[in-house]
Structure 1
Amino acid sequence: MAPEASKTSIPIPERAHTRRAARGRALAIRLGPGPAVIAAAALGCLLIGLLYLALQVRTIFSDQLKQEYAGLVLEAVERAESARSLVGVWQQLPDATENKTAGYRHARTELARRLTSLAALVNASPSAAPRVPAFLLAPDADLRDTDAALSAVSAWWRAQRDADSADVRVRIAHVAHTLIAAAALLFCMLITALGMYAKRNRLLAGQSHEFEWAALHDAMTGLPNRRKLFASLEEAATKPPALTVPCKIAVLYVDLDGFKQVNDSLGHRVGDEFLIAVSKRFRESVRKVDVVARIGGDEFAVLVREFSTNAELGEIARRLIACVVQTDKEMGVGRVRASIGIASFPDSVDDYQRLVAAADEAMYRVKRNGKNSYAFADQAR
């Protein structure tokens, strides 16, 4: 069996590339904008949109108040115009009687009162509206000046009410468009955040799978390691049998003879290439349900599930030895062979947890008896 020095062989370039790729993915996860950043951006846009909406709503209320004020002024103008029409009616009466004179004076007094109310509204407005002159408030004011003033005040405030109404409609349209844009923006940001969250979860799940795979497999050959072998062994031994016949499993412990000289004479790079090549042949020579594991520097184990006779195990052992010979011949090494120990459960070993140790003991028997062969655990005793 080769010493532990062979276990610390130099990593091949693929391992370094895999590590760099894993570090790159981890760095991308750390540096890339996460869902929290997207949520913060969405919240910021929402706050800005709400501030804009608040200003628009405030302006709309202000314009509505202006419209109501203009309506009050126009109502006062209509009352003043009604009083002016009544004065004209009294003027057109043909007879100059005492009754006509009293009625005309009463109409002029009512007109002056209506104009005073109108002037109070107009002059109190914060807008730059045309004021009602004070001389028009007298009962004997010139009616032509009164007509001109009423006409100017009415025209200005109607135009102001129409402008405020149009401004309200425009601002309501802006509010509606802003709400639609904000809803669309929030929806897009939500979809983006969910997509990034799902992508990050996939990346993390992929990294977790890679870490789990690395913990259960040999980094150089890609074969299961000792930990994975024992887990598979326990799973196979404790699996309920499909039929009444108990499940029979076996472990073939493989040690490469002469592998240390390969590392010493040809270098670790050639040794690594040899291990990779023979691992591939081992995997191709057994069934897919069986497990080929690398458990040491030049030590391998094969877990065989559900065999019938020892002759089947012997055939597997011969194929494994042939794999080593073929690899040695192909690479031109000329000195590597294999010693294999075989232990089965429950035939030769009644405790599946001792299968690997029993196969290892059988393998040492082969080494003591000339190597490049195989032996069963019951024969080793």
Structure 2
Amino acid sequence: MLCLLIGLFYLAFEIRAIFSDQLKQEYAGLVLESAAHAESARVAAGVWEYRPGDSHVQLEGERRAREELANRLAALAALVNGSPSAAPRLPVPALRPDAELAETDALLASVAAYWRAQRDADGADVRVRVTHVANMLIALAALLFSLLLTALGLYAKRNLQLAGESHEFEYASLHDAMTTLPNRRKLFATLEEVGAQMQASSSPGKMAVLYVDLDGFKQVNDSLGHRVGDEFLIAVSRRFRDSVRKVDVVARIGGDEFAVLIREFSTDMELAVIARRLIACVVETDRQMGIGLVRASVGIASFPDLVDDYQRLVAAADEAMYRVKRGGKNGYAFVARPDRAAESG
């Protein structure tokens, strides 16, 4: 910005100097025009002076020519002596009507030479300053363009930062901080999305929710400490995620409670296999960490076979999971159908 301000001040100074030089040029042109008129009057006076004869007409013509020359020289002197810039003044004796014509010739020659040189010098200054102004305008345009690009770059960078921060905030609001799994909010949003797609489809499929609760996990925190408990949750979350398809959603919805949303399946047998796989994840994590306390109870609810409203899938799977707990834990059960008892494993 400082360079831009300096450039603008320099530009204003140069433009002012250009106008000043142009005025000087115009003034020099007026002086040269007046000198040309005086030169014409001097030629006329010379003609009358060297014309043969001594008649009244001759004398009168010579007098008038001398007066005209004196008037032209006076006008020239007024311009030269009134010049706004320093210039050689015209001597008074050379302006008298009876001045020698040779002296007048020398005076007009010197005036014309001086002011022609001044006009040419001022013209050269104008051309140089115009070049400077053009170069400065190019430089200022480049500087402004650079500033604009910089401002746009900063604006774009800030927008990207804000977008990144917004994405981070959104991600944090939809995921569990410790396990990085989707949280309850994300699970229900995905459930709503998949359910809406199924209802809009001409050939809707089936989806299911498996609700997982860790049996005996509270004893891990009480006896081994929360640090070990957190390590267990992180490890088992990773195994849960690796045990299902990428399109399915594994969410942590409570302290030791998880839910798995299966987007598409064919038979209940597939869900039973997934439930046994989830139970095996818990057993393997418990064995690897040498705890010997933790197992899992899994409740299974599917839409539209077992539950006619997909928005009730999580609650229905939770109810089935509590039936497993009441029946001895470490197993899985489907939500009860109205026409028959629920299957369990």
TM value normalised by structure 1: 0.82
What is the SS of the residue equivalent to 1:370?
Answer: coil
What is the SS of the residue equivalent to 1:239?
Answer: helix
Aligned to 2:40: 82
1:296 CA displacement: 0.5
1:366 aligns with 2:324: yes
Aligned to 1:239: 197
Q: How does 1:16-31 map to 2 (within 5 A)?
A: none
Matches of 1:194 and 1:116 in 2, distance apart?
66
What amino acid sits opposite 2:152 in the alignment? Answer: L
Aligned to 1:3: none
Aligned to 1:16: none
Show structure 2 runs of 5+ residues with no match.
none
Matches of 1:369 and 1:218 in 2, distance apart?
30
1:244 CA displacement: 5.7
Equivalent in 166, 184, 201 of residue 226 of structure 1: 184
Equivalent in 68, 72, 75 of residue 26 of structure 2: 68
Aligned to 1:183: 141
What amino acid sits opposite 1:213 in the alignment? Answer: Y
Matches of 2:123 and 2:135 in 1, distance apart?
19
What amino acid sits opposite 2:118 in the alignment? Answer: Q
1:133 aligns with 2:94: no
Q: Deviations over 1:145-165 (max 9, x none)?
A: 323322322222112111110
Aligned to 1:257: 215
What is the SS of the residue equivalent to 2:198?
Answer: coil
Over 3 Å counting, the alpha-carbon distance change for 1:53 and 1:245 in structure 2 is closer
1:121 aligns with 2:79: yes
Q: Deviations over 1:95-147 (max 9, x none)?
A: 55655444433332222121111111111212111111222222112334323
Q: Deviations over 1:212-242 (max 9, x none)?
A: 1111111111111111111112222222368
Aligned to 2:301: 343
- Preserved contact between residue 361 and residue 380 of structure 1 (Cα < 8 Å): no
Percent of pairs with identical residues: 73
Matches of 2:202 and 2:79 in 1, distance apart?
106
Q: How does 1:298-313 map to 2 (within 5 A)?
A: 298-313=256-271
1:277 aligns with 2:232: no
What is the SS of the residue equivalent to 1:240?
Answer: helix
What number of residue pairs does the alignment pair up? Answer: 339
Q: Deviations over 1:293-338 (max 9, x none)?
A: 0000111011112222221111001000111111112222222111
* Worse-superposed segment, 53-62 or 123-132: 53-62
* Worse-superposed segment, 202-211 or 293-302: 202-211
What is the SS of the residue equivalent to 2:33?
Answer: helix
Show structure 1 runs of 5+ residues with no match.
1-40
Aligned to 1:327: 285
Matches of 1:134 and 1:335 in 2, distance apart?
127
* Structure 1 vs Structure 2 CA RMSD: 2.3
- Preserved contact between residue 46 and residue 101 of structure 2 (Cα < 8 Å): no
What amino acid sits opposite 2:325 in the alignment? Answer: K
Over 3 Å counting, the alpha-carbon distance change for 1:339 and 1:182 in structure 2 is same
